[in-house]
Amino acid sequence: MAHKITLIPGDGIGPEVADATVEVLGTLGVPIEWERVELSAAIIEKAGVSLPPHVLESVERTGVALKGPVTTPIAGGFKSVNVAIRKQLDLFANVRPVFTLPGLKTRFQDVNIDMVIFRENTEDLYSGLEHEVIKDVVESLKIITRYASMRIANYAFAYSKKNSRKKITAVHKANIMKLSDGLFIRCCREVAANYPEIAYNELIVDNASMQLVMRPETFDVLLLPNLYGDIVSDLAAGLVGGLGVVPGANMGEKCAVFEAVHGSAPDIAGQGVANPTALMSSSILMLRHLGEGVAADRLQQAIMAAFRQGDVLTRDLGGSATTRQFTDAVKRHIEA
């Protein structure tokens, strides 16, 4: 029976990396029935909402979506599509594996980085509760609840146990925000007590950022509230080659959206040079979610082999290969 999956190509380079990923998944032979849903800045502006009803209805119906990047205006315009879809579908857990890729030249290429970042996805400063108190004075409200904090902590610890992860580091700023971050960290401690086999420690977010740059190989699993999670997950991506190579998953109790976390890169759209690694890797997480573990392993190994091959890296990774050349290399390694 085919898996029904919503495909949201996005805009900019989104359709290019989405088509490459769909092609590679087709090579694996996994039965998938795609429901393609168009979403772009132009469509959003016309609809007047960040998440038009036809997109929401499709994801709610299929329960699973693979999403490319969608352009988000800065300091104005419509609200972030990513934030909207996470809130509307209650995708409370952002999961970001970050690991070293063979053959990719980075400042940390000789360090074995292998961590998973869990970010609470629904509240904190991303609740969007802000207003202008008086002219030129703006107030934003940071919302932390026991419900959301316990939910993300339970998810991170359950994942770690299932996947034989050994250590979880909770990241906070409870020395300053004693009530909000204090509540988050107390919830993490409460859940940690139920998993004595998993080592648990805590780091203040500024120290955690420094330690990530100095000793990234010492981290296993990180557990963070929304804002710190957003920043730290991008920092961690920079250790292994950037947002173009790391996967992302947004998990809820009823729906899951797997996405490339990089931008839409309109400056290179249509040139055939976009790097599809992030969305392909996100589809690996999707396959595991669907119970297609063997196919997920095959795709993971094929991507690793393409990087090890070295001559099919795209421009953003220091190479000169096209999207087509990288995609063909991954397909060859799958078939091999």
Contact yes or no for 224/232 (Cβ under 8 A): yes
Half-sphere exposure of residue 251, counting CA atoms within 13 Å on the CB side? 22
- Closest by CA to 52, choosing from 91, 32, 79, 74, is 79
Residues with a known catalytic role: 126, 173, 206, 230
Distance set, CA 264 to CA 14, 40, 75, 128, 298 (Å): 6, 10, 17, 23, 28
Contact yes or no for 115/135 (Cβ under 8 A): no
- Closest by CA to 290, choosing from 267, 258, 323, 314, is 258
Exposed/middle/buried for residue 322 (C-beta within 10 Å: 0-12, 13-18, 19+): middle
Query: Across the beta sheet with 256-260, what order do the strands follow?
Result: 32-36, 3-8, 64-67, 256-260, 247-251, 93-99, 114-120, 221-224, 167-172, 199-204
